[in-house]
Amino acid sequence: MPYSKDHTQRTRQKILQSAYQLFAAKGFDSVTVNQIMNHCRLTRGAFYGHFKSKADLYNEALQFAVGQTNLSQTKPNETSEKEWLTRLLDDYLSIEHVRGECACPLAFLATDIVTRDRATQKTYSAVFDGMNTAIYNYANRYTRCSKAEVLSLTAMIIGAVAVSRAIKDKQTVLNLLASCRKEAGLKLGGI
C-alpha cells in the first residue's frame, strides 16, 4: 500500500532538513547520501524515492532552507516595515543565528556554492536577489535608499555571518555582529 501524500511530504521535509544541516556544517563534498539518511533516520532507499542525486538534493535543500528563514516569512499586518526590518536585522546579526543549525544558506553555503553545478549557483543567485529585493522593498516604504546601498548591506551582513561562523572567540563574534548591525541600521534609515 503506497504512503499517503502527507507522509511522503513529511519524509521529504525530514530529508531536506537533515541535508541542509549537514551541508551547512560540512559542505557538499564531505557529506554522503548515507550520512544524510542516517541523520534523518531513514533508509537509503527512501532517498531515491524523492531525489535523483545528491546534487539535486543540495539544490533543493538550499531552496528549503530559504523558506525557513525569517526574511521569507510574511510581515505581520500589525508590524510596520521599519519594525519588521529591525527585527529581521536583529535576528540575522545575532549569535543564535550564527550558531544555529538551520540558518541563512547565503552565509552558511557561500564558499561551498562556488564548486557546485550551474543550476545550484543559479538558485543561490536567485536567493540572493530575493533577499535584496525584499529588503529594498521594505526599506523604501519608510526611507530612501538605493538598490546599490541594499546590495552592499546584504553583502556585509551575509559576510558578517559567514566570517562569524569561523571565529571561535565569542566576544569577537559579538563585536563583529554589533558593528555590522549598527552600520546596517544606519543604511536603512537609522533602525
pLDDT in tens, the chain (191 residues): 566 788 889 999 999 999 999 998 899 999 999 999 999 999 888 899 899 999 999 999 999 998 888 878 889 999 999 999 999 999 999 999 998 866 789 998 888 898 888 999 999 999 999 999 999 999 999 999 999 999 999 999 999 999 999 999 999 999 999 999 999 999 999 99
Q: Same domain for 41 and 123? A: no
Identify the domain containing residue 27 by its residue range: 5-61
109 and 167 belong to one structural domain: yes
Separation of alpha carbons 191 and 185, rounded Å: 5
The pTM of this model reads 0.87
Domain with 139 in it: what CATH number?
Answer: 1.10.357.10
> Which DSSP state fits 71?
G
* 98 and 12 housed in the same domain: no
Phi, psi of 93 (to 5 degrees): -95, 50
- Total number of domains constituting the chain: 2
Cβ atoms of residues 92 and 70 within 8 Å: yes
CATH number at residue 25: 1.10.10.60
pLDDT at 47: 93
Clarify whether residues 40 and 113 are in a common domain. Answer: no
User: Is there a single domain that holds both residue 56 and residue 81?
Assistant: no
Do 188 and 152 contact (CB within 8 A), yes or no? no
Alpha helices in the chain, H assignment, sequence order: 5-26, 33-39, 44-48, 54-68, 81-92, 95-99, 105-108, 110-113, 118-139, 147-166, 170-187
pLDDT at position 102? 62
One domain, residues 99 and 57: no
User: Could you say which of 61, 81, 105 is where a domain stops?
Assistant: 61
What pLDDT shows up at residue 162? 93
Burial class from Cβ neighbours inside 10 Å (0-12, 13-18, 19+) for residue 158 reads buried
- Residue 101 pLDDT: 67
Q: What is the pLDDT of residue 100?
A: 82
* Residue 126 and residue 167 share a domain: yes
